[in-house]
Amino acid sequence: MRDELEQLKKQALTELEQIKQPEQLKDFEINYLGRKGKLTSVLKQLKDVPKIDRPAMGSLANETKQGIIQSLELKKTQLVQGPKLAMSAIEATWPGRDFGLGHLHPITQFLNKVQDIFMSMGFEVVEGPEVETQKFNFDLLNIPKNHPARDAWDTFYVEGGLLMRTHTSPVQLRAMKKSKPPVRLIAPGRVFRNEATDAGHETNFYQCEGLVIDKCITVANLISTLESFLKQVFGQNVKIRVRPEYYPFVEPGLDVDMQCLICGGSGCSVCKQRGWLEMLGSGMVHPTVLKNMGVDPAKYSGFAFGLGIDRLMMLYHSINDIRFSYSGDSRFLEQF
């Protein structure tokens, strides 16, 4: 019986190997494992085996049966699932996978638009460091130590008395170290504030500084430049208002507000129910600051402004919360 079992296993495996169609597998199964199959008839002889050899022969018979069943299952997998797996791996007619190509962040897109407009008006673009000295962020801008304006522009201090710049205004001073009037420049970049966040305020956001110095520059030049800029961004019907504001580095200082485009002026969470949103600070450069730039205030005058890029971008796209911009949420970003 031992020889018969070994012979049967050999025969079954050879036969199985030659099978090429899944339909043939059923016949094979009936032929070997069925009620009247070859293996079954050998197993029937077990009762004639001497009692003492029966356990060993029984386990050999079982091993043979399991071996044939496992080989049959393997063959089934190869013949039935194999082609499907192979097909799905190399299906050449399916469209390619979409890798979801990214794009520029809406703030960067908007900043590019702002730069294009100012460049078309003859401004050059300059940059400055995000980590600043107190001298450039405050002192040279007429904000000495213990000046109350340092509270309004509180920020994050880093080692060595350095700080994360609170505004882009220090870039005016840095740029003027290398330039002589007349100048017309903008300085876009990220700024930082130690303040509570809400729908209109973030602890880090973007500004774009502007500086014009020449002979006979007046407030009229300042207002017309900014009005022209805002109309190029938001259209000719945009409503702005100019009101006095105190900034230590300008004299006089002006804030430019724009009617809230989110609520149309009726009041909402973004404009804090005022109907108007402060878009930028500006003014005529203070004589002391001109001197700190190495410019003679008796010969030259100039204006400066600091645009809040995030708020302008929010109005441009009707976004009602500044925090979406920094959330990294692709559902927000994919809209631009």
Query: Can residue 283 be called a binding residue for ligand FA5 (CB under 6 A)?
Result: yes
Active site residue 187: no
Query: Can residue 308 be called a binding residue for ligand FA5 (CB under 6 A)?
Result: yes
Q: Which stretch binds ligand FA5 (CB under 6 A): 1-9, 69-77, 197-205, 261-269?
A: 197-205
Query: Can residue 305 be called a binding residue for ligand FA5 (CB under 6 A)?
Result: yes
Give the residue with the Cβ less far from ligand FA5, 113 or 201: 201
Q: Peptide bond before 182: cis, by omega within 30 degrees of 0?
A: yes
Query: Can residue 280 be called a binding residue for ligand FA5 (CB under 6 A)?
Result: yes
Q: Which of 278, 323, 326, 336 binds ligand FA5 (CB under 6 A)?
A: 278
Query: Can residue 324 be called a binding residue for ligand FA5 (CB under 6 A)?
Result: no
Give the residue with the Cβ less far from ligand FA5, 230 or 304: 304
Active site residue 276: no
Give the residue with the Cβ less far from ligand FA5, 114 or 304: 304
Q: Which of 65, 75, 193, 286 binds ligand FA5 (CB under 6 A)?
A: 193
The residues carrying an active-site annotation are 153, 167, 193, 207, 250, 304
Q: Give the residues lining the site for ligand FA5 (CB under 6 A).
A: 167, 169, 193, 195, 201-202, 205, 207, 247, 250, 253, 278-283, 304-306, 308, 310-311, 322
